Amino acid sequence: MARKRFDDSNCSVARALNQVGDWWSLLIVLHAMYGTRRFVDFQQELGIAKNILCDRLARLVDNGVLKKVEVGEHGSRFEYRLTEKGRDLFPVVIALRQWGDKWNPAPDEAPLDLRDRATGQPVQTIQVRNADGEPITVRDVFVPDASSPGSKKDSV
Amino acid sequence: MARKRFDDSNCSVARALNQVGDWWSLLIVLHAMYGTRRFVDFQQELGIAKNILCDRLARLVDNGVLKKVEVGEHGSRFEYRLTEKGRDLFPVVIALRQWGDKWNPAPDEAPLDLRDRATGQPVQTIQVRNADGEPITVRDVFVPDASSPGSKKDSV
DNA sequence: TAATCTGGTTTTAAGATGCAACCCAATTAT
DNA sequence: ATAATTGGGTTGCATCTTAAAACCAGATTA
């Protein structure tokens, strides 16, 4: 049977996963953030099969995460560049990286040291914050119930 | 051929995706954050096939994202609960939700209104911040080159 | 005691993936 | 000028994964 798709889910996380939630797409976006733009470079850096890479790039372009740009005057050379939508995945990628560094550290390697160009200092650990800027956890949040505004149901 | 796995990748994002990067795993974690704990509830809420749910729950337990807890005195009733590692995916899920709400809003539905229990105010949009707490984008960061500390290569 | 609930496993058909081979236009080397 | 290489694909095939439905066994409920 076909893989299930969530295009029409009423959950925005499911819809997001529909666009970048497969094994390769987020890694492609990550490498695009690294600066990779060419088909062959993605292929070599990721070790992905060419047909799969074609499919994923096309899907990411369809979804507006990447745009395909002709380079080299005579056509037939392309670059895949992040759109604003694609660059906006930065917090997702960083959150995932920090989670991975914390919980599955490479035994022999230091976690990636990512720094701010302006200050030269490492970036902060990404966190969910309340209106006052205080970091909060999943236990600190609720979804106000539209029908009875007083209730504080546990939810994400 | 089998799907490629990234257990041993030297990229922590790849290793993270290996644990929660398939179509269902993050949705299971999301629903666990909602409060879902029982097999049947996951199954009904997600509309996932039972064999796939079995497999994913087992994998999440193996990876330490969930723990399987016997409830009901005589065994054979279980709950799947988030571990600290699992709860620590909160920023990832929120970042993904906010990205989805921004770029693929449901046509007819308001985005999820997530609030802080203590203040009753909506949570902030999650962002990558530099050491001074200023939000930064992918263009503002670099990875210091260990061999020549002065260089500012563009990287994530 | 019968029916139902819970948490699975098995079977089957259809999709998705990885790999290698092939293709063709543009570029580079000889 | 011709040959070899590069870039960006497509095609076919074998294998793996998935969805759906049937089935199952131990508890619980009627």
pLDDT in tens, B21-66: 988 999 999 999 999 999 999 999 999 999 999 999 999 999 999 9
Query: Would you place residue A149 in the very low, low, confident or very high pLDDT band (cuts 50, 70, 90)?
Result: very low
* Domains of chain B and CATH, by start: 1-88 (1.10.10.10)
- The answer to whether residue A95 scores a pLDDT higher than 50 is yes
- The answer to whether residue A3 scores a pLDDT higher than 90 is no
Give the burial string for B8-31 (b: 16+ CB within 10 Å, else e): ebebbbbbbbbbbbbbbbbbbbbb
Residues in chain B within 8 Å Cβ distance of A98: 91
| Helix B12-20 with B50-62: angle, nearest 10 deg | 140
By C-alpha distance, which of B114, B104, B137 is closest to A91? B137
* Model confidence pLDDT, tens digit, residues A8-66: 788 999 999 999 999 899 999 999 999 999 999 999 999 999 999 999 999 999 999 99
**Angle of CA points A68, A69, A73, to nearest 5°:** 145
Average pLDDT over residues A108-133: 94
- The answer to whether residue A122 scores a pLDDT higher than 60 is yes
Choose among A26, A64, A144: nearest Cβ to B17.
A26
CA B85 to chain A, closest CA, distance in angstroms equals 7
Q: In sequence order, what DSSP letters do the residues of B13-42 get, joined into one string?
A: HHHHHHHH-STTHHHHHHHHHHT--SHHHH
How far are the Cα atoms of A54, A86, B13, B52, B72 from residue A40, in angstroms, in the given order? 11, 20, 21, 34, 56
Bases of chain D within 7 A of a CB of the protein = 6-12, 14-22, 26-28
Q: Nearest residue to D26 (CA, C1')?
A: B76
Choose among B48, B82, B95: nearest Cβ to A92.
B95
User: How much is the pLDDT for A46?
Assistant: 95
Residue type at A128 in one-letter notation: V
**Angle of CA points B52, A137, A100, to nearest 5°:** 55
CA A67 to chain B, closest CA, distance in angstroms equals 15
Does the CB of B65 fall within 7 Å of any strand C atom?
A: no
Q: Do A15 and B128 touch (CB under 8 A)?
A: no
Query: Would you place residue B10 in the very low, low, confident or very high pLDDT band (cuts 50, 70, 90)?
Result: confident
Query: Would you place residue A150 in the very low, low, confident or very high pLDDT band (cuts 50, 70, 90)?
Result: very low
CA A72 to chain B, closest CA, distance in angstroms equals 23
**Class of residue A87 by CB neighbours under 10 A (exposed 0-12, middle 13-18, buried 19+):** middle
- The answer to whether residue A156 scores a pLDDT higher than 70 is no
Q: Check residue A148 and report its DSSP letter.
A: S
Q: Do B26 and A19 touch (CB under 8 A)?
A: no
User: How much is the pLDDT for A61?
Assistant: 97
CA distance B60 to B52: 12
* Model confidence pLDDT, tens digit, residues B64-114: 999 999 887 666 789 999 999 999 999 999 999 999 999 999 888 888 899
